[in-house]
Amino acid sequence: MLETVNGRYIVGCVSVLIGSLALTAQWGVLAPVLGGWGSSWTHKVLLPLNLGLVCLTYYYYLAINTEAGHVPDGWEPPYSIVHGDEPLDVSKGATGPRFCRTCDAYKPPRSHHCRVCQQCVLRMDHHCPWINNCVGHGNYAYFLRFIFSVNLTCSYALALLVWRLYHILDMNSLQNRLHPVTVLEMILIVYDVVGVFIVLFSVGILGLYHIYCLARGQTSIEAGERANVRRLVKKRKIPPVDFPYDVGILANVSSVLGPSIVAWFLPRPSPGDGLTFAIKPNTDPRLVYYWPPRDPDSLRPYMQAEADEQAALAEEERLALISGHGGDTSSSERPVRTPLVRRDSEGYLVREISFAERMQMLDRMYPMVPGDGGNDPAYGDGTESDYGYVDGQYVDDNGYYADQGDYNGGYEEEEEDYQFVQGADVNGDGYMANGYAAHPDDLDAMHHDHPELPGDDAAFDYEQEYQQHIDYYDSGSDSDAKYVDDD
């Protein structure tokens, strides 16, 4: 519900609450009873309270205004992880490096996408509406210090307020006789006691939970992931797997608050870059890039899709061999299949498509027509046997169309009359000189983006131009999706 409220209003309300409790408790309740602001006893008693207020206010400011941590542009897992020789066992819940479809980028270990901040956050713990910011690697240390400061300050303030309330209720006390309670003081003390108790109760529970997570080296999100992994192990769906980042209580605390006990109480950020973390010995390095393991049952649709695709490729090769046009289909010349990429919280699990596989997709879309320089029996042994046959037109090696010896459509001698599309010259009728029949939609797009490009004179980047025609393979559409999970 708080996500629908502007975060600045929430921060403003928290600031007003802190200020009102501090002012009413000191000026309206405690200071008059302790002897007024001119008394040294008042200063000694209220000094710890005001130091706590300064600390919690400063840490609150840092937690709000420090960036939680964003993924650097262009970050990718190590090549050995993405293109490893040993495939991951999907039946054990291993799905490969995580990928964020919203950010269109890989997710570093322990990072997650925040739908409120609209970015992936390094070592994300949670999005906190009370600070109008995510809690991540950049500000987690400040957030923890703010929580601890609130708990210590509120505990001290509540002790002073209960002390004053005890003497008010004790009608025979000397203090009550010297400083009789007023209606205004009773209203203020009720407000302060109730307000401080609610804050201490709620933030105290939060603080205890974060102490537990800090000692175990986990974030709030990872606590839920570990519970889910334990459930899968208990049901024997996956083999036992240890949480890789729990390296001991002292090391876990030092990884967030700093390497020394003195640094724990200083306003310093967490050490490290938020991309790499200490892990347990003998941990598979690939585990940190696909943690947490998934439920194999949820991955069965994907595994079935992979099996169907392999069967379809095998059937294509078999038919090609039977027809005699398959060529050499040895494994050495087949396109290398790239590893899996897990699209995690965005719901997709797909495989990256290599350039060679994209070329095969284009070949299936625009199949090459016969024409092999006189060796194709379909054209006999005449002069036209050296031309490729495209939609009723013969095309020579230079990209010209011949019809009974004449060039087609008024294109006489200049190659500048052709437009360069996908590595081939194309005339105004939509014919391509390399034996591919151009699709009208592709021609319209090329005419719009590259009008009147000459064929031989253009500095043409084939792969970049080709990419424009197959971008929809990477668009995350249902046709590309191998599996849609429950996240």
> Alpha-carbon distance 400 to 394, whole Å?
8
The token duo for 121 is: 């956050």
134: number of Cβ within 10 Å:
26
Spatial CA neighbour of 141 closest among 264, 286, 287, 38: 264
> Alpha-carbon distance 336 to 322, whole Å?
24
Please pick, among 120, 128, 134, 154, the residue that the annotation labels catalytic: 128
> Alpha-carbon distance 312 to 80, whole Å?
29
| CB-CB contact of 277 with 288 (8 Å) | yes
208 CB-side CA count, 13 A: 5
Known active-site residue 120 = no
> Alpha-carbon distance 328 to 333, whole Å?
8
Angle subtended by helix axes 40-65 and 140-169, to nearest 10? 150
HEC string of 211-249 equals HHHHHHCCCHHHHHHHHHHHHHHHCCCCCCCCCCCCCCH
Angle subtended by helix axes 462-469 and 355-365, to nearest 10? 60
Enzyme catalytic residues? 128
